[in-house]
Amino acid sequence: MLTLLRDAFAGRTVLPYLWGVALVSGAGVIFSFTALFFRATEQASDWQFLFYRGISATFSLSVLVYLRRNSRPVKRSAVNARSLLAGVLLAAMSMLFILSLARTTVATAIFLQSAAPFSGAFFGWLLLRERVEARTWVAMAAAVVGVAIMVGAGLEAGSSTGVLMAALLPVIFGLYNVLIKTARESDPLVPALVGSIVLALGSAVMAATNGGIPVSLRDALLGLAAGGVLLAGGLPMLNLGHLSVPTAQVSLLLLTEVVLAPLWVWIWPGEKPAAGILIGGAIVLSAVVALALTAPKKR
């Protein structure tokens, strides 16, 4: 098991479909704690939090690149226009997510990302001519029902700016999916490292011009953990698993984040979701599980 993961991470093999499903879903679980970490800050602004997240992710991913230098050193061919653009899109998604959380509720920001499967399916069909399987359409339809129930439960929209930022996330993620699929010499660490560097630099400039970079030790540690643990841990898993899963399904499997993030902030600090949100979330999560369990046996 560990040998297979090591070989895939070193670029010697491609993981089986179900392994890809597990990695992408697991990445969604890891990402789901980001909203909780941000909500737990006391005084740090959105840009300050993003700065500490960016520098810690850059450090952790750089360590991974160093540790992997003998088995799979980063090749020049892996650092190309598509992988660089994918990294920029990653940084943009990270910024938009935190900025939207600062301007609207966690539930609103998270559940707007439920449109990601449709964005992924559309761009996968338009640019890659990927056929969307019937079972994937069924799973997406079930997810839509779940999201509709959540919305009907009365999500607070928050500011229009925050909602707009959150609404851009699934569109950008759909484009990111296509870039990862088509990037020559795909390396799961390259877009992640590029994205963290862009995130650190961009947020440093914005934080310095909007109140400064220094924050309390508590807030700094939360930002560092959100980057060095959550971002640096989840992105390589997502990018590696992505290679074994169709584009439309990647976005659907990442709905684990959509379901779990509101639960964490419900447990603490107490942003209690309505019963309809829990019911809808259970339907979405069931669609993700069903998609994994109905995988073709040939894969």
DSSP line for 120-173:
HHHHHHHHH-PPPPHHHHHHHHHHHHHHHHHHHTT-----HHHHHHHHHHHHHH
pLDDT digits (tens, 9 = 90+) for 16-54: 999 999 999 999 999 999 999 999 999 999 999 999 999
Alpha-carbon distance values, 290 to 63, 140, 206, 276 (Å): 36, 11, 43, 21
pLDDT in tens, 88-135: 999 999 999 999 988 887 877 777 777 777 777 778 778 877 777 888
Could you tell me which residue, 136 or 19, shows the higher pLDDT? 19
- In order of 200, 246, 270, 271, the CA distances from 27 in angstroms are 21, 16, 24, 23
pLDDT at 56 over 90: yes
pTM for the predicted model, two decimal places: 0.84
